[in-house]
Amino acid sequence: MIQGVINSIRESQVWSSIFRHGIPRDRRTRVMAIMSNVFLHLHPVAVRKSGIRLSFTWCMGGLTFFLFIAETISGVLLMFYYRPVVEYAYSDIIGMRAHLTLGIMREIHRWGAHAMIISVWLHMMRVFLTGSYKPPREFNWVVGVILLVLTMLLSFTGYLLPWDQLAIWAITVGSKMAEATPFAGMAGPGTELLQLPGGIPIVTPYSDAKFLLLGGESVGEAALLRFYVLHCIAIPLGAATLIAVHFWRIRKDGGISGPM
């Protein structure tokens, strides 16, 4: 009975218009399953057996990507309830836990972010230990390094949004570093030496690296909005673009690495 229903669904015009191949049971349909699907065709049709062993890849790159998707979905849901304004930010976070059905979305987002940082580090360690950054994969390693930095910046900008004590003081510690940028931060070496004729300083407290980061002299209203926009739009867009490049280059550079 059930088998009959399944079969009639699979033979319907709707099903066969979406999946243009039969059930993947023989070689031909399995190849078709990969090739005729826009998401699955990221993969080659066939791979080296030892290349996909879990003990070789640790699956860490894949998990990092999966966590990125989980973060995107849970992040979009959180954006429905969160207002990046000093007056509301903290109470909105409280409200997410207290008033929402399935009030663990923030937990998933927060813990997922920590897990993503760890998985991206472990992915880097695996790629290093297998020497997979060596030719012809040099450029893809560089893309990976930028993605590593973006992952940490994503987490760093998200850290401010709950607007609690943990948030503003962690970002304050971070912005002290920006203030110390050589030749660009007010407390950085050499900044005072940059002067126009007549002793007019080029870098002022209102134009230094810290001001650029925070939109003010301390962590306040403007910093919250800036970090929100960076966290929800600018950095995810950049990361998504580079992820696409990263995956495309894996294929172009010869797939999962293995002995030459």
Instruction: Enumerate residues 126-145 that contact other proteins by CB under 8 A.
Output: 126, 128-135, 137-138, 141-142, 145
The whole-angstrom separation of Cα 133 and Cα 148 is 14
Return the closest-CA partner of residue 144 out of 258, 243, 241: 243
Per DSSP, what are the bridge partners of residue 200? 196
Please report, as residue ranges, which positions from 7 to 36 form the binding site for other proteins (by CB under 8 A): 24, 27, 30-31, 33-34
Does residue 83 belong to the site contacting other proteins (CB under 8 A)? Answer: no
C-alpha dist (Å) from residue 22 to 8, 18, 32, 102: 13, 11, 9, 38
**Residue located via tokens 């791979």:** 47
Does residue 98 belong to the site contacting other proteins (CB under 8 A)? Answer: no
Residue 228 Cβ, how far from other proteins at the closest point, in Å? 14
Does residue 215 belong to the site contacting other proteins (CB under 8 A)? Answer: no
Does residue 95 belong to the site contacting other proteins (CB under 8 A)? Answer: no
Does residue 81 belong to the site contacting other proteins (CB under 8 A)? Answer: no
Task: Kindly indicate which of the ranges 10-18, 109-117, 226-234, 243-251 contains the residues binding other proteins, using the contact rule CB under 8 A.
Answer: 109-117
Give the residue, chosen from 77, 115, 202, 243, that forms a contact with other proteins under the rule CB under 8 A. 115
The whole-angstrom separation of Cα 74 and Cα 76 is 6
168-207 footprint of other proteins as x/- string (CB under 8 A):
xxx-xxx-xxxxxxx--x-xxxxxxx--------------
HSE-up (13 A, CA, CB side) for residue 163: 21
Task: Kindly indicate which of the ranges 2-10, 45-53, 76-84, 238-246 contains the residues binding other proteins, using the contact rule CB under 8 A.
Answer: 45-53
Task: Kindly indicate which of the ranges 76-84, 120-128, 195-203, 244-252 contains the residues binding other proteins, using the contact rule CB under 8 A.
Answer: 120-128
Residue 6 Cβ, how far from other proteins at the closest point, in Å? 18
**Helix (H/G/I), strand (E/B), else coil: 136:** coil
Does residue 87 belong to the site contacting other proteins (CB under 8 A)? Answer: no
The one-character DSSP state at 161 is T
The secondary structure element, H or E, covering residue 160 is helix 138-160
The one-character DSSP state at 234 is I
- C-beta neighbour count of 225 within 10 angstroms: 14
* Residues that contact other proteins, how many (by CB under 8 A): 102
Please report, as residue ranges, which positions from 221 to 260 form the binding site for other proteins (by CB under 8 A): 257-260
Whether the Cβ atoms of residue 58 and residue 44 lie closer than 8 Å to each other? no
